[in-house]
Structure 1
């Protein structure tokens, strides 16, 4: 094939030369070229190799429909499996064909095609099962792979994430989309218009048209300018890849420099002006390089000035291709093959490129390019993602949109309107549906709106190799094989033959495959049906989905309302469970400060900011029943004004969270879950409320962020609070352990709950967040006369470990059941159903050798055990793990190291000595009860 730049101006080009390499060959293009247009203009016929047989493949399309031209890019930027038709050419690019070695033109694996008769669809399922598929799998995947990731390359940085709302989102910047966006913007609507092309215009960039007295290109320019003046957002190189629940549309904006952008758009209405994709024609060897979509050939000629060849055959079964032949006539020898007149191509000849075609009348035409049009398939992927249903049009031979989808309209060629007049009319109808009074339609001159097509589907037993899916090497014979082996369902056909899978998603191949299966099984095309269209419509870079996933942008830390006060008091802040919290206070080294705070908390009183603790209110007549279902423990017997400790399980029976449940009133509870689990517990409560309970009799409100919780703990906590004066008695009779009541601070209501995570007398004061600073300041001021200490989280962790209190996720793992933590009573006593109950009675859950929570005493004179060290048992063949250390601290109260661990059969092994190993060092520990300090709980009322 001989290609060249034409002398006529090309819409998107400048005269600036751009230099690049393709498979090591130095080439030149022009600024504004895509990689594909530059390759075509540089006389490169083979741009890739087919997925399975490594056959030579040339350009077929001009946009996202391209099934052949995938490339890896390095140099200016690094890309893997980029479509050459949609990637802009940049000076200095190093472009490599994929699935080819060392190059597309000289692929050493091209010999595979000689064995094609032995490797039809699904051959690997049948051939490589013996002796073991895994022996062959790595080699097969390596041969059939596409692009190769360079581990040292710098790939596009994570995309910017943008959230947008608008009255109207128009997907597609062709004539239908432009007119819709313009009229909606004139009426005062906020409009976002996106198009995956390099510039707006769609078919008007290469088809001639006179609209309102100007040519199509000028009409597009005027529309674009007015949209800008009206404030509409216009996004080019932007693909709408998916429509999701609640009218969320995902857009990926590709930018030649810098990060891409991922747009999450929530429009009131969506217009899909996504156009149509041209189908191939079925004949032998219809995959040879030089055989191209007629629309693509016209686009390359008029937009990029690149001609497909000098001896061109234009073959069509419809009336849309006349302009193609006329456009090439001045610069090439053009021959037309019109299927409507009964003349067809039966085969193409050539090796690395087409050099002739044979016709049904026996004649042979020499050609270096064949531009074919087998009709147009509306691009209805997004419509189907929005749960739209399709209907078959016998006249146009297409699936088109069926019944309307709320807030989604499909217009233009996407709704099988192939004449420009029909395109504008469909846009006007859609605008009226959303309340826009469309003015008179644009005036067209010399443009026919009629569309004619004759049926030209592949037939059974066609001679030669007739290719249906160019990307996956699926032929008519593969579909016939699937039918013989009874894979006649459209979904089975797709997976058995790989028809329409992967990046292509059947854009050029699906309909031909369905038609052939219909013929083979005696059904109609609509009876065969279509596969399910799922997002993304075309591949989206991982970086776009990932977004900015580094540092605080990955998971922004939540901040305490008292953070500035803690900083003023010398707090060292760390992230705990998503919250930035004080670890310790003062200028001392961490270990010394933590020990000091913990010791002083035992001797006098400690002040601790526990605001991140969950405060999720559950209210309504079904609240008690709901709490019984959510918790492993029975909660409906809890009296108002009292609290109870309990576990929340997953459906698997695994402990998800532990904490205190407060019953304020008969039908009102507060779930005080772990700080890090608040979002997860809240989501779990909402999920089961909606799934299992009456939403009119049960309400959930997460008040965690609106309420601060300040903890006062220690032997002098009651004395300090008496001095603060909150209008509530702190005596044991009035407010016993695990009880709650209401007080007041300067006219603001305060909930006082007597619970303890330290083992000492403790009170949690919950107050409106904006009043927390005043209350904290009062506590600190009065606390000075009681030797109060500000306590960070590290000291609290030491105190709770002395008591054997667990931290879920630290002293439990993804296999821990409540019985492993010493809570077995509900298993036999609780009669009502609850979350995870069934799983607790499985054979696995009842294993006697499960790991269980224990304390571990250091008996070898060494320091504290490293967290994560394993208890080990020596066996004849070596050692095996008995479990591991989950928490380990030095207890200032006891003056020795303490540890908690999950050890096999631990509850029955108190007093037993085991070996503990860490990084090759062997230590010894005695298994003990988890509670090492005040096991009788006398200090709770001290």
Structure 2
């Protein structure tokens, strides 16, 4: 119907059948869903967000705000909110329009359009406030049913997604004329180059530049030659269908590559691939987007961007209409008019500028035009134009807009780059960057083809040289065009003779924001453009303000009496275009979403009937019930066995970090509160790590294996956090230190042997290390072998008993555990789990970070002031500890609690008050029944707790308070004699 024969890059010999809203239609290979719909004369593709006005295709690619569809694929795949302009057509594609009921042609909620005067910007802030309880129960469900986008699929996504990391010297974003020129120049130097472009075919504007030549070749032919050259180079990675969606610190860019959405059926491989690319230099050749015009009733189906209509003609051989009116404020409108006229389309051009540039045109030109409005219901049918003192109605089936071009600065802004107002382009352009990055071509406001090619060559040479490569001298391609982009442009609302309060002149098509909405926001006191954006929702839709931002800025500036550059611009946040949750998640789905980590002893514990708990990502044995034992009975038995004979505990989940280098001791000194330079080789020390605010971050035992080597342990949940903290300080604060950090958590199995018989059990197994009491005292570390495996033995205890931690390579963990278990059986050895471990350490007043600490606890609060190096000049958090509030006597301090009734068990988290009530003095942090003490025990954080030892307090509990006596937190073996057993 509107397909022009033998035009475009589509395959006219390869028809494709597809359906839209149940209607069978035919397109061609190479079409997008949008171009195929337009070829069939379908302009109506959706209903607007708030007013449910008929909406049609506006743009040609990622700037499309209206034509959002749901695509149904095989295997129950349903993907909502896809711009039809970016959906590549394939055989039997099934698509549905959104946000309409019951159909596009007859939408019952179009009544909202007539009620528009009652639905101004921010009406929901004023209307749905009372009664307060109605929001979640009444208002929100009904609003969501009427407004919104597509329906989220209910079935699980069956597709696969990949993540990939890459490094390169030069990353070029955009494969238009500037990007291809830059990539060719940089690649010829020999450096690694990655080129990404979000379209199926690289070439950008060259693919639709019908009248341009480069070095004697047609623009398309030159682009094909450039792409073929890049594809043949081993140092170049060319990524079509790949969107650079985010710019992150240190030249890290997120790219989303679409691998399967353009193919029919179920994808054989991954559907999408998420790239994390770190580049030495980044070149942004992201182009520019044509700016729409703001005039009354500018949103009817059939009203489009002029350059989009030109692209549909040149790329897909589609005429967007037969009788077209082009409204322009920029010379580029003439280029579109000439090309459409040459294709046999009737064109009238209305130039809003006071006097149209004198030129010979084969079509009618109306200068000094004012647009009074349009007509039509489900498609535009006429436009009314005022000129030369009279009003003229022109019948048409399409209206095309050209307000100039806006450089695509999203990624440059995300790089923390600075922007400057360019009065000639009438837009912001990049002016500087905090990263090793530059914007070129149209993205920098240089719109002409020759300028873009020259810009690319220069940027490619500079990037290669900055990366240390000698760039080859490649001549700048010479371009010739019949119709240049030209000059001009306008921002803000076009003047018209109608009452502004009674017309709908749209600025943001997707969120139904009009010029009068922005005027209302300024009248209500919103002067910051960020506030105007949020109050009106301009630029907050899936198109991220690509079309609306500049016009919104201009209207705000005019209403507040400021120049546009004084208003500033809104923040561009990633992603540049929407990214699927599947791509972001990658393989982290289902079981891999929260990976289960198991120690080498896990299977043994399963065979023993252990009950497990999740600790971070790890599965840890909580207790080992026998026969009909419940948890309390099993824990009681395990605790008695550890103190009476011996216990075996799997501590493999502890974080373990190797700290190596000539400055390793200096590094630890600066981080931990303890002193490390004088720690003898073969000795261990309990270390406390603070945050910069002085509060406890983590703790663990650190052993010195050599003058330049330490083995540090962390809590199970804190392993990654501590390593990241160490790396952060090493790389940003003390990069001069000779220190290397290696996580060895998975490399070592840790088997804790605790209890009076611990040494007796280990002695027959340990070779090459004397573990007698005199040779290997408490807090020692040494290396030897056990059962033929390398051994790193630490004499430490988290139970208060004689204890050893046997570190062996993880591949030997199970075998060594079995060997220890066999020798320990005649001596009454018992395996114990995390629950018994908690009870045993609480009996000794040992803290657990995250249980006895809550982010506001200092070392002194936790009773660990003894660990702080008395002569240390500095460590992380030291300055914060000097603040008066950190020394206040009424700080919460760690204490023990004894209930008057030994059988009463306190609830963890329960609040503690004075004997007669009053405000909370603290809370219970740990509470257990101790079989060794024959009573309940508890640890707590209490204001001025150490001064309250011997006093009686009350713990608030359901059913009434429980009286407790405040005690020292060490409730068992207070003198620690059993450690030296």
TM bin, normalised by shorter chain, reads 0.7 to 0.9
Distance change >3 Å, CA 200–CA 866, structure 1 → 2: farther
Deviations 1:805-824 (A, max 9, x none): 66737855868968999849
Contact 1:274 1:414 in 2 (8 A): yes
Among candidates 407, 412, 417, match of residue 378 of structure 1? 407
> What is the correspondence of 1:376-525 to structure 2 with a 5 Å cutoff?
376-403=405-432, 406-433=435-462, 434-435=464-465, 436-447=471-482, 449=484, 451-453=486-488, 455=490, 457-458=492-493, 463=498, 464=500, 465=503, 466-525=505-564
The aligned residue for residue 82 of structure 1 is: 82
Do the aligned partners of residues 838 and 665 (structure 1) sit closer, same or farther apart at CA in structure 2, a change above 3 Å counting?
farther
Select 1:283's aligned residue among 295, 311, 314: 295
- Distance between the aligned counterparts of 1:595 and 1:212, measured in 2? 87
Contact 1:623–1:669 under 8 Å retained in 2: no
Match of 1:194 among 196, 221, 225: 196
Aligned to 2:230: 227
Structure 1 residue 368 corresponds to structure 2 residue 394: no
Q: 1:759 aligns with which of 790, 800, 803?
A: 800
Q: Secondary structure of 2:572's match? A: coil
1:152 aligns with 2:154: yes
Change (3 A) 1:798 1:359: closer
User: Which residue number in structure 2 is paired with residue 879 of structure 1?
Assistant: none
Which position in structure 1 is the counterpart of 2:719? 678
1:50 paired with 2:48, answer: yes
1:432–1:650 distance in 2 versus 1, CA, 3 Å: closer
Match of 2:252 in 1: 248
TM-score of the two chains, using structure 1 as the length reference: 0.80
Q: Specify the alignment match of 1:878 in structure 2.
A: none
3-state DSSP of counterpart to 1:246: coil
Structure 1 range deviating more: 578-587 or 420-429: 578-587
Alignment partner, residue 99 of structure 2? 99
User: Aligned partners of 2:601, 2:563: CA distance in 1, in Å?
Assistant: 69
Q: CA 1:824/1:837 → structure 2, altered by over 3 Å: closer, same or farther?
A: farther
State the distance in 2 between where 1:71 and 1:568 align. 50
Q: CA offsets, 1:57-100, max 9 Å, x none?
A: 21110111112112233354211222121122344444333332
In structure 2, the CA distance between the partners of 1:39 and 1:899, relative to structure 1 (3 Å rule), is: farther
What's the CA shift for 1:408?
A: 1.7
Moved more, 607-616 or 907-916: 907-916
Q: 5+ residue gaps in structure 2?
A: 262-266, 357-366, 466-470, 872-876, 914-921
Question: 2: distance between equivalents of 1:414 and 1:250?
Answer: 19
Whether the 8 Å CA contact 1:291–1:372 is kept in 2: the answer is yes
Looking at structure 1, the residues matched to 336 and 151 of structure 2 have their Cα atoms a distance apart, in angstroms, of 39
CA 1:887–1:775 in structure 2 vs 1: closer, same or farther (change >3 Å)? same
Separation (CA, whole Å) in 2 of partners of 1:936 and 1:713: 18
CA distance in 1 between counterparts of 2:866 and 2:644 reads 36
Of the three residues 327, 344, 351, the one matched with 1:338 is 351
Does the CA contact (< 8 Å) of 2:671 and 2:689 recur in 1? no
1:349 alignment partner in structure 2: 374
What are the Cα deviations for residues 444-471 of structure 1, in whole angstroms up to 9, with x where unaligned?
Answer: 4554556222546435786353322222
CA distance in 1, matches of 2:126, 2:18: 44
Q: Is the 8 A contact 2:839 2:928 kept in 1?
A: no
| Count of aligned pairs between the two proteins | 910
Distance 2:32 2:794 in 1: 68
2:172/2:194 contact within 8 Å kept: yes
RMSD: 5.2
Give a deviation string over 1:506-555, Cα, whole Å, max 9, x none.
Answer: 21122222233333344332232222222111111222222222366445
Distance 1:708 1:5, change over 3 A: same
- Find the counterpart in structure 2 of residue 631 from structure 1: none
Stretch deviating more after TM superposition (65-74 or 619-628)? 619-628
| SS at structure 2 position matched to 1:230 | coil
Distance 1:217 1:151, change over 3 A: closer
In 1: Cα distance, 2:297 partner to 2:670 partner: 70
Give the superposition deviation at 1:742. 5.3
- 2:364 corresponds in structure 1 to none
Report SS of the residue matched to 1:506.
coil
Deviation at 1:191, TM superposition (A): 2.3
Q: 1:393 touches 1:399 (CA, 8 Å); kept in 2?
A: yes
Cα distance in 2 for partners of 1:828, 1:187 equals: 56
After TM superposition, give the deviation of residue 334 of structure 1 in Å: 1.7
C-alpha distance in 2, partners of 1:577/1:903?
24
| Aligned equivalents of 2:828, 2:375: Cα separation in 1 | 91
Cα displacement string for residues 294-345 of structure 1 (whole angstroms, at most 9, x for unaligned residues): 1111122232233211211122222323342233334332222234513324
Q: Distance in 2 between matches of 1:852 and 1:649?
A: 23
Q: How far apart, CA to CA, are the structure 2 residues paired with 1:573 and 1:184? A: 60
Q: Which moved more, 1:602-611 or 1:158-167?
A: 602-611
Note closer, same or farther for the CA distance 1:14–1:649 as it changes in structure 2 (3 Å cut).
Answer: farther
Q: Out of 496-505 and 454-463, give the one that drifted further.
A: 454-463
The aligned counterpart of 1:273 is 285
Q: What is the CA–CA distance in structure 2 between the aligned matches of 1:532 and 1:912, rounded to whole Å?
A: 53
1:205 aligns with 2:247: no
- The Cα shift of 1:421 comes to 1.6
Q: Indicate if the aligned counterparts of 2:48 and 2:54 stay in contact, CA closer than 8 A.
A: yes
Residues 77-125 of structure 1: CA deviation (Å, up to 9, x unaligned) = 2112221211223444443333322233322222222232343322333
Counterpart pick for 1:808 among 822, 830, 848: 848
Gaps of 5+ in 1: 629-633, 874-881
Note closer, same or farther for the CA distance 1:368–1:672 as it changes in structure 2 (3 Å cut). same
**Alpha-carbon distance change, 514 to 140 in structure 1, aligned in 2, over 3 angstroms:** farther
Match of 2:168 in 1: 166
| Separation in 2, partners of 1:552, 1:626 | 37
Query: Are positions 1:540 and 2:569 aligned together?
Result: no
Instruction: Check whether the contact 2:800–2:844 (CA below 8 A) recurs between aligned residues.
Output: no
Alpha-carbon separation, structure 2, partners of 1:166 and 1:668: 34
Alpha-carbon distance, 1:595 to partner: 9.3
